[in-house]
């Protein structure tokens, strides 16, 4: 799942890995996401803030249904609030989830990143010094 901008670029940089699988995207509609995901299966959603718990709770129900309908085996995201309900739904459904820290995260990450990283089975970081922040982290270096 992805929002637009750098988050999407991180996910696209992983294409050599994910392109081998049957992939479904959950994304916020923006010019770059519509263009880069034009050949992908996409559920378009509105941006979501984890600081609005009622919206997140409603979105978790939708996320659980989508993960089941699409028979998802792994949830992976690099960010924003839209990822939070999917990481919660993945945890509730026993589906592994991986969080990708975006390259620009060098200090304290935002609320969505902190929530998703805690729910993830694996955290992918792009800076070696972030390994100490996450007990389940792997450093892949810069993705793009």
84 closest CA partner among 105, 57, 122, 121: 57
- Tokens 């459904």 found at: 93
Q: Please tell me the number of Cα atoms within 13 Å of 93 on its side-chain side.
A: 25
Start-to-end Cα distance in the chain? 18
110, two tokens:
């935002």
Please answer whether residues 77 and 116 qualify as being in contact, where contact means their C-beta atoms are separated by less than 8 angstroms.
Answer: yes
Q: What share of the chain is helix, strand, coil (3-state, %, to 5)?
A: 45, 15, 40
Task: Please give the pLDDT value at position 1.
Answer: 66
Give the pLDDT band of residue 41 (cuts 50, 70, 90).
very high
Q: How far apart are CA 143 and CA 103, in angstroms?
A: 8
pLDDT digits (tens, 9 = 90+) for 64-120: 999 999 999 999 998 788 999 999 999 999 999 999 988 776 677 888 889 999 999
Q: How far apart are CA 102 and CA 87, in angstroms?
A: 17
Return the CATH number of 6-139, one of 3.10.20.90, 3.60.110.10, 3.40.1480.10, 3.40.50.2000.
3.40.50.2000
């Amino acid at each position: 799942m992805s929002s637009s901008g750098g988050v999407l670029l991180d996910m696209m940089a992983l294409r050599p890995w994910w392109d081998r699988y049957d992939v479904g995207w959950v994304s916020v509609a923006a010019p770059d996401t519509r263009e880069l995901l034009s050949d992908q299966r996409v559920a378009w959603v509105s941006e979501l803030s984890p600081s609005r718990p009622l919206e997140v709770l409603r979105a978790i129900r939708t996320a659980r249904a989508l993960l089941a309908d699409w028979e998802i085996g792994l949830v992976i995201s690099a960010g924003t609030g839209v990822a939070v309900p999917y990481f919660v739904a993945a945890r509730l459904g026993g589906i592994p989830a991986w969080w990708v820290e975006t390259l620009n995260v060098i200090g304290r990450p935002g609320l969505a990143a902190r929530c998703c990283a805690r729910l993830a089975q694996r955290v992918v970081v792009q800076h070696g010094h972030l390994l100490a922040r996450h007990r389940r982290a792997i450093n892949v270096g810069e993705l793009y």
